[in-house]
Amino acid sequence: MTERVDPPFAADEKTMLVSFLEYHRATLKRKCDGLSPEQLLSRAVPPSQLCLLGLVRHLADVEYAWFREVFAGEEQRYLYGPGDADLDVWETDEAAVAQAWKTFDEQAVAANAIIAGSDLDALSSRTARRSDHRPTLRWLVVHLIEEYARHNGHADLLREAIDGAIGE
């Protein structure tokens, strides 16, 4: 089972924020632990097309978009295609699952490096999508924590419907 470390009750702000972000990343991994590729594709809450593997891909793409594109000013691109292509997964195998987790981990490492090397008050290089505002790094980290928390709630429902597993 994926190890998950509880965030500290007392720490400096950056440590606290990164700890919560890491906690939520690990939570998503735990929700996917031990599942086959077919189970990771299960659409367990009809009529939704949402599946666990789609969430993994989506959150990797979200981390790339916010930390690397918006904050650091790297190339604007989609990891899986435009629109909801990150969520639109229909066929997969062990290699595709391994690649999705590799991409997920790479984006987490890149985001952590950006956070470690920047001040929380630093403004992003670009404006947020559909906005004319440049968010601070603090805003981006808090937003990603919120994004993970929301999608981990989806992951709870999906996993329980797949095999009855419950818990944080």
The mean predicted confidence, pLDDT, of the chain is: 94
pLDDT of amino acid 36: 96
pLDDT in tens, 96-110: 999 999 999 999 999
The reply to whether 7 falls in a domain is no
The reply to whether 45 falls in a domain is yes
> For residue 79, what are the CA distances in angstroms to 86, 107, 145, 159, 167?
8, 10, 20, 25, 30
The reply to whether 57 falls in a domain is yes
Grade residue 130 by pLDDT with cuts at 50, 70 and 90: confident
Q: How many domains does the chain have?
A: 1
Which residues, in sequence order, are bridge partners of residue 136? 123
pLDDT of amino acid 41: 95
Q: Is the pLDDT of residue 168 over 80?
A: no
Q: Is the pLDDT of residue 151 over 90?
A: yes
Q: Which amino acid is at 85?
A: A
Q: Is the pLDDT of residue 67 over 80?
A: yes
The reply to whether 1 falls in a domain is no
Q: Is the pLDDT of residue 167 over 90?
A: no
Domain that holds residue 64: 13-163
pLDDT in tens, 18-57: 999 999 999 999 999 999 999 999 997 788 889 999 999 9
pTM over cut 0.75: yes
Q: Is the pLDDT of residue 88 over 90?
A: no
In this structure, what CATH number is given to the domain that contains residue 90? 1.20.120.450
Distance CA 59, CA 103 (A): 10
Distance CA 83, CA 98 (A): 23
The reply to whether 4 falls in a domain is no
The reply to whether 6 falls in a domain is no
Q: What does the DSSP assignment read for 46-97?
A: TT----HHHHHHHHHHHHIIIIIIIIT------SS-STTTTT------HHHH
The reply to whether 127 falls in a domain is yes
The reply to whether 8 falls in a domain is no
